Amino acid sequence: MKYVFGPVKSRRLGVSLGIDIIPYKLCSFNCVYCECGATTHLTAEVKEYIPADDIIRELDSVLSGSPELDVVTFSGSGEPTLNSGIGKIINHLKTHYPRYKIAVLTNSTTMHIPEVRRSIIQADLIVPSLDAVSVDVFSRIMKPAPGVNVHDIIEGLISLRSEYKGEICLEIFIIEGINDTSDELKLLRGAAEKIAPDEIHLNSLDRPGTEKWVKPVSPERMLEIKKFFEPLPVKIIGKASVPVTLSAYNSELENALLANLTAEPVTAGDFAEKMGERVVDIIRAAEKLAERGEAGIIPGDNPGICRIIK
């Protein structure tokens, strides 16, 4: 599978089948805490990067077997709403697989665009993020693509709340010493009051991020921040998703990839299809092998077509 992964077990979503509808590390942010690594294609352009029909075919092959799932989740290595085909995919799911709830995890950078908001209006749950309000803190954490600004994000989320009747859980990722100051928390709480989500989810580092200086926040500090947001509906979310199958990345994939390497270079996309894994996880495994001198990576025009060699 190139685009569908899992299912994974999440404390807040249950058993979730993931969909990654954006090329590896294409995003409108280059967040310092991203567990997928640095963004390689920083853009805020909305277009059909991966054909919706290709993604739908994979979903059909999985969902036609009626797996036991709590939700189908748009997530992955980049920002899913940058793919202009997301609405077509959601409509297909609602039409052909109505038993499954749909969740969209978004960094909120496209929410000021009316067409994008309309494209996800059928989802059952939207989890937008907002990690900073002041321009300097926003820029330091998010490292946004040109043209992306926090004012548009907040206004877009306010518009989403007025148009969308489903559940919105606003996620705020806390980085100690950066966005947990009294001034920044007041700005975040003020923005949350305007957006009026059903819940606020406070998150912190669980796995290594892009920048090594980003560290987990202590449980005691997270509780202090939670109390700061009360009486707004706020909770601290648990650890990141835990794999139910090998489809989500783990170190065993490195050994499996190593066993498949040859003296002839093979693209990451071909390995992903052969091994039934996501391209993002194949590349992460190859990078780990390369760090140990056990594999070589030949760059391509985009990470998905980089070639991996023994």
Report whether pLDDT(91) > 90.
yes
Q: State the Cα–Cα distance between residues 202 and 199, nearest whole angstrom.
A: 10
Q: Which CATH number fits the domain 252-309, given the four candidates 3.30.160, 3.40.1440, 1.20.58, 1.10.10?
A: 1.10.10
Q: State the Cα–Cα distance between residues 12 and 288, nearest whole angstrom.
A: 30
Where exactly are the structural domains of the chain? 4-243, 252-309
Residues sharing a CB contact under 8 Å with residue 158, sequence separation 6 or more, in sequence order? 194, 195
More confident residue, 96 or 304: 96
Give the full edge-to-edge strand order of the sheet including 4-10.
234-236, 199-203, 167-173, 125-128, 101-106, 71-74, 14-19, 4-10, 242-243
pTM: 0.82
Residue 104: closest CA among 79, 127, 77? 127
pLDDT number for residue 5: 84
pLDDT number for residue 242: 39
More confident residue, 249 or 124: 124
Structural contact between residues 310 and 286, judged by C-beta atoms closer than 8 angstroms: no
pLDDT number for residue 305: 64
Count the neighbouring beta carbons within 10 Å of the beta carbon of residue 139: 14
Report whether pLDDT(17) > 70.
yes
Give residue-wise pLDDT tens across range 251-287.
688 888 888 888 788 887 777 767 767 677 788 788 8
56's enclosing H/E stretch is: helix 52-63
4-243: CATH topology: TIM Barrel (3.20.20)
Give residue-wise pLDDT tens across range 207-236.
778 888 999 899 999 999 999 999 999 999
pLDDT number for residue 153: 98
